[in-house]
Amino acid sequence: MRILLGVSGGVAAYKAVLLLRLLREAGHAVRVIPTEAALRFVGAPTWEALSGEPVSAEVFDDVAHVPHVALGQGADLLVVAPATADLLARAATGRADDLLTSTLLTARCPVVMAPAMHTEMWEHPATRANVALLRVRGVHVIEPASGRLTGKDTGAGRLPEPEDIAREALAAVAAARAPQDLAGCRVVVSAGGTREPIDPVRWIGNRSTGRQGLALAEAARARGAHVTLVAANLEIPGADAAADTVVRVESTAELREAVRAAGADADVVVMAAAVADFRPAAPTEAKIKKVPGQGPAPIELVENPDILAELVRDRLRSGQVVVGFAAETGDAAGGVLDHGREKARRKGADLLAVNAVGAGRGFGTADNEVWVLDAAGEQLVHATGTKRQVADVLWDAVIKRRG
């Protein structure tokens, strides 16, 4: 793919260097278009060396090739990261006072902007209005992360991590190109990992970040589905862009209620969330204190309902396709697929996506390997690739199953 990486003048420009590397390593040709101000933070040699392409902030360089038109016309994706308040304002008003803003006017490909600025600037009505206008015009504006800003401040306005920007940007291209084969289909996807409270400050949780669930929601939405995302403690941004409706939950009980409520009129329910099998029997209202000299108090656990098994049993809507996930490590009793087959038969979901986790696989990683089994444990398809690619393969299987 031919990607234009616009960089405007904020301290977070250094993170765009990492974004550039990621995009190049993923095999894309990237041309960097910094603003003059961006070049005060990271110089042209860095961009040129890492992109392997010439770099200019000016429309008056290389005029013979009319770069502001040629670059925009030839691009498959234009990402601006960081997008400063000034860049957003100039883009919203259609200014063309440097190469980046001029290119923004000539590009007809998906445009993704990742704002980064101080919280006050991000929250200012002028910036809010600019972002709203850009979104109405079809620009995909990524929500900034919250956290440490330049200096001592913390708050909303931080540039998201380069991996997350890359993922959202590439998802925007996939969305623009996706077949609309899930149009009219209502889907519910649960994602993330549940937290079972021990006391007001502690919980039992798991390592799920929500990446695969989010990728499933994004893929379905891109293919035309109406998506409800039941998000359990996601550790990555992007939930709001991935779904028509986002229901945020913490515990298994909340997740169960949300999935069942949305599932009542869904054609497909995908349980990609890592759900805790057990929860503390009696979470305390006050924080549990350490009593010197006494060992830890035991925590009694009780079993959680199996939401997936209930969905299979109850079939909330006729013809509903129920999809489960099985995160397996394999052990002395059998390999990943052996456990997956056994789980497919036990759970009875129409489709079960079995994936290998542990030791750098599965949780928190960008890539995934999945076997899709039917309710009898028969393998339908084996998929490897990014979580988005795996998501698309799974939706293909769902469409086939729906017939």
Could you tell me the two tokens for 339?
A: 């456990």
- Contact between 306 and ligand CTP (CB under 6 A)? yes
Q: How far is the CB of 328 from ligand CTP (least distance, A)?
A: 7
Among 80, 273, 356, 394, binds ligand CTP (CB under 6 A): 273
Kindly list the distances between the CA atom of residue 379 and the CA atoms of 223, 282, 327, 352, 390, in Å, as whole numbers in the listed order.
24, 41, 16, 9, 15
How many whole angstroms separate alpha carbon 101 and alpha carbon 206?
44
How many whole angstroms separate alpha carbon 242 and alpha carbon 298?
40
- Contact between 249 and ligand CTP (CB under 6 A)? no
Among 239, 242, 275, 372, binds ligand CTP (CB under 6 A): 275
- Contact between 314 and ligand CTP (CB under 6 A)? no
How many whole angstroms separate alpha carbon 173 and alpha carbon 222?
9
Residue 355 has phi, psi (to 5 degrees) of -130, 150
CB nearer to ligand CTP: give 143 or 338: 338
Could you tell me the two tokens for 143?
A: 């929500």
For residue 153, the Cα-to-chain-centroid distance in whole angstroms is: 26
Q: How far is the CB of 319 from ligand CTP (least distance, A)?
A: 20
Among 99, 166, 234, 327, binds ligand CTP (CB under 6 A): 327
Among 30, 55, 191, 308, binds ligand CTP (CB under 6 A): 308
- Contact between 75 and ligand CTP (CB under 6 A)? no
Q: How far is the CB of 304 from ligand CTP (least distance, A)?
A: 4
CB nearer to ligand CTP: give 22 or 308: 308
Question: Which stretch in 139-147, 215-223, 271-279, 363-371 sits in contact with ligand CTP by CB under 6 A?
Answer: 271-279
- Contact between 325 and ligand CTP (CB under 6 A)? yes
Kindly list the distances between the CA atom of residue 277 and the CA atoms of 158, 193, 217, 273, 303, in Å, as whole numbers in the listed order.
35, 11, 24, 12, 6
Q: HSE-up of 195 (CA within 13 Å, CB side)? A: 16
CB nearer to ligand CTP: give 11 or 253: 253
Question: Which stretch in 156-164, 214-222, 323-331, 359-367 sits in contact with ligand CTP by CB under 6 A?
Answer: 323-331
Nearest to 303 by CA among 280, 324, 284: 280
DSSP state of 193: B
As a residue count, the chain comes to 403
CB nearer to ligand CTP: give 121 or 253: 253
CB nearer to ligand CTP: give 90 or 339: 339
CB nearer to ligand CTP: give 282 or 302: 302
Cβ(38)–Cβ(65) below 8 Å: no
H/E stretch holding 280 = strand 278-280
Residue 179 has phi, psi (to 5 degrees) of -70, 150
How many whole angstroms separate alpha carbon 60 and alpha carbon 102?
12
Binding mask 335-374 for ligand CTP (x = CB under 6 A): ----------------------------------------
In the chain, how many H helices and how many E strands?
Answer: 15, 19
Q: How far is the CB of 393 from ligand CTP (least distance, A)?
A: 17
Q: How far is the CB of 352 from ligand CTP (least distance, A)?
A: 8
- Contact between 208 and ligand CTP (CB under 6 A)? no
Q: How far is the CB of 209 from ligand CTP (least distance, A)?
A: 15
Among 53, 61, 265, 277, binds ligand CTP (CB under 6 A): 277
CB count within 10 Å of CB 319 equals 9
Peptide bond just before 82 cis, omega within 30 deg: yes
CB nearer to ligand CTP: give 149 or 232: 232
Binding mask 39-68 for ligand CTP (x = CB under 6 A): ------------------------------
Nearest to 191 by CA among 168, 173, 171, 218: 218
How many whole angstroms separate alpha carbon 204 and alpha carbon 275?
11
Catalytic residues: 206
- Contact between 187 and ligand CTP (CB under 6 A)? no
Residues that bind ligand CTP (CB under 6 A): 252, 271, 273, 275, 277, 304, 306-308, 324-327
